[in-house]
Structure 1
Amino acid sequence: MSEALVFYSKADSADEWISALRPHLPDLEMRVAPDVGDPLDVHYAVVWKPPQGFFVPFTNLKLVVNLGAGVDALVSRTDLPDLPVTRLSDPHMSRMMASFVLMSVLRHARDIPAFEKAQREKRWNYVHPRMAGDIKVGVLGLGELGSAAVLELSLQGFDVRGWSRTQKRLPGIDCRAGMDALPQFLSECEILVVMLPLTRDTHHLINAERLALLPQGAKFINVARGPIVDEPALIAALQSGHISEATLDVFEHEPLPQDSPLWGMENVLITPHLASVAIPRTAAAQVAQNIHRVRSGEPVLNRVDPGRGY
């Protein structure tokens, strides 16, 4: 019996991933779903949002690799076998995310939407810049990507604080933890960046009540998962002006439906879930490393805890 890896993703190039993986795993047969051959040969699955029932035929599966840092779409399934599931932990993904968050924060901090509007109206509109240190930025979620973003914002001189479910310690960062600390945290954020994993506990965590805790005219950035935010409540806050601007990379339903009011809002920037993506040539080595660890009986790195959801 040959040993095979199966690849599935509608969002990624199978050819790029197979080409990147092959030098690290020259003895492993590479198959791209739906052409899986004999499913009993498949010992490893590298996937992004496979269809329900995908894993059922692979009774000899030993490892599932999720093509990204967010695993909410994987751990909520009913067909996922009881075996190691790992997520990607690529420094290039962290840098890509940190740069997108920095761009988004700078765009709001330097009043770029106001200048874009003035340009469309052929109107000279001077807005005096504020010092970064006078602008309070909060990051919800201090995992690998959130921590990288917080440190980048701090490096640029912003008055940064972070919040997480459990206490974290980051150099020079005011780190808060726990639900009791969340109201005060939100009340201090002129610019809020959502970077939490999507779990049962974080679904609609940012609802109308918590949006109301933000200062009047706050800016809102979501680069995590759409369902963490109650989208109708966010739309209402944007329409009322309580949230003055938003940068949204993720949504409750993707692609964003054509009839969403968000499309027509001049104070909203919409991007199509691309703040950070996996790069095959840099991430392939860690996928291969975990396959080698499974083969040698060692514990895998970056293992997901399905109970926690990340």
Structure 2
Amino acid sequence: MTLLYKADPERGQAWQRLFQERAPDIAFRQWPDVGNLEEIRYLACWQPPEDLARRFPNLEVLFATSAGVDQFDLGLLPPELPVVRMLDPGIVAGMVEYATLMVLALHRQLPRYLDQQGARRWQEHALVTAQSRRVGVLGLGQIGQAVLERLATFGFALSGWSRSVHDLPGVHCHAGAEQLPAFLADCEILICLLPLTGETRGILDAHLFAALPRGASLINLGRGAQLVEADLLAALDGGQLSQAVLDVMEPEPPAAGHPFWQHPRIWLTPHVGAMTVPETAFGVLLDNIRRHQRGEPLSGLVDRQRGY
């Protein structure tokens, strides 16, 4: 039984050590040293190579090394091939840390105070209590729910939106397109944690920004293609939004002359909200391989119609 790994080579060394120590019955190979292609049953990758069916005639499962699979062109993959996204608890923990960090920074007006420091101006501003700060999360999957659970410990007024109906303790939940405007109207800080699909591409646009309270802030931890960049610039420059925190772009990295680099109301980070860590992800991957060997359902199996 052979697994081929095709992603970050440095982390690949850690993956190889873990397989040798904890699952020696599974042969581990790292791209491009693929060996006999007919022996490969599992592929774990960020981006699969082209023509999978021809190259790997006995491939049984494709594992993404990420929580999302929008980097895959699902239409080019063999229709019978199971595609599984990574449910690494380390990814969830990293996203919760990042979202909490940025919500607290925006809540406590850190952008304003940093501006004042640059201008050598010592001025205090009224403190808003967490109970009075309205924070909303777009996307109520595993990560969205974990973010809301952590934010609840600070006492924020929380709301959430997703395609399907959810009932989360302490969260005012909304569902479907008809409830999106009411959700947005209640968000002073909006966190996007949506997967990238045909429906969510370009969702962060002028229409959505106009539905937020004037002076709201945006944190995008979803995907860069969900943001209409020109609309964000217009919303920031016109005062509809006061701040944007962007951990994702399309493409990545942005060009050297991109206006986001130097915009005074944009904080830009290089897609570091979370990373797959072999030490925390290994158990999840191995459990899925064992599930497959026993003929049991796989955790994180992608619904190709939904795209996640």
Give the aligned partner of residue 74 of structure 1.
72
Q: In the alignment, does 2:226 pair up with 1:228? A: yes
Task: Give secondary structure in 2 for the equivalent of 1:46.
Answer: strand
Q: Partners in 1 of 2:243 and 2:32 — Cα distance?
A: 43
Q: Partners in 2 of 1:149 and 1:156 — Cα distance?
A: 12
1:285 to 280, 283, 298: 283
Give the aligned partner of residue 127 of structure 1.
125
Give the aligned partner of residue 304 of structure 1.
302
Task: Give secondary structure in 2 for the equivalent of 1:236.
Answer: helix
* Cα distance, 1:79 vs structure 2: 3.2
Q: CA 1:55 to 1:135, structure 2 compared with 1: closer, same or farther past 3 Å?
A: farther
Q: Partners in 1 of 2:155 and 2:121 — Cα distance?
A: 31
Aligned length: 308
1:173 to 171, 174, 181: 171
Q: CA 1:52 to 1:173, structure 2 compared with 1: closer, same or farther past 3 Å?
A: same
Q: In the alignment, does 2:303 pair up with 1:270? A: no
TM-score by length of 1: 0.95
Q: CA 1:12 to 1:170, structure 2 compared with 1: closer, same or farther past 3 Å?
A: farther
What is the percentage of aligned positions where both structures have the same residue? 37
Quick check: 2:38–2:57 contact (8 Å CA) kept in 1?
Answer: yes
Give the aligned partner of residue 25 of structure 2.
27
Structure 2 stretches lacking a partner, 5+ long: none
Q: Partners in 1 of 2:250 and 2:209 — Cα distance?
A: 17
Quick check: 2:41–2:60 contact (8 Å CA) kept in 1?
Answer: yes
Q: Partners in 2 of 1:75 and 1:291 — Cα distance?
A: 23
Give the aligned partner of residue 100 of structure 2.
102
| 1:234-249 aligned within 5 A | 234-249=232-247
Give the aligned partner of residue 113 of structure 2.
115
TM-score by length of 2: 0.95
Task: Give secondary structure in 2 for the equivalent of 1:96.
Answer: helix
Q: In the alignment, does 2:138 pair up with 1:140? A: yes
Quick check: 2:19–2:26 contact (8 Å CA) kept in 1?
Answer: no
Q: CA 1:10 to 1:128, structure 2 compared with 1: closer, same or farther past 3 Å?
A: same
Q: Partners in 2 of 1:76 and 1:235 — Cα distance?
A: 32
Give the aligned partner of residue 151 of structure 2.
153
CA offsets 1:171-223 (integer angstroms, 9 cap, x no match): 11111100000011111111110000001111112221111111111111001
Runs (4+) of structure 1 moved beyond 6 Å?
Answer: none
Quick check: 1:137–1:189 contact (8 Å CA) kept in 2?
Answer: yes
1:62 to 60, 63, 67: 60
Q: Partners in 2 of 1:302 and 1:281 — Cα distance?
A: 18
* Cα distance, 1:274 vs structure 2: 1.0
Q: Partners in 1 of 2:154 and 2:78 — Cα distance?
A: 42
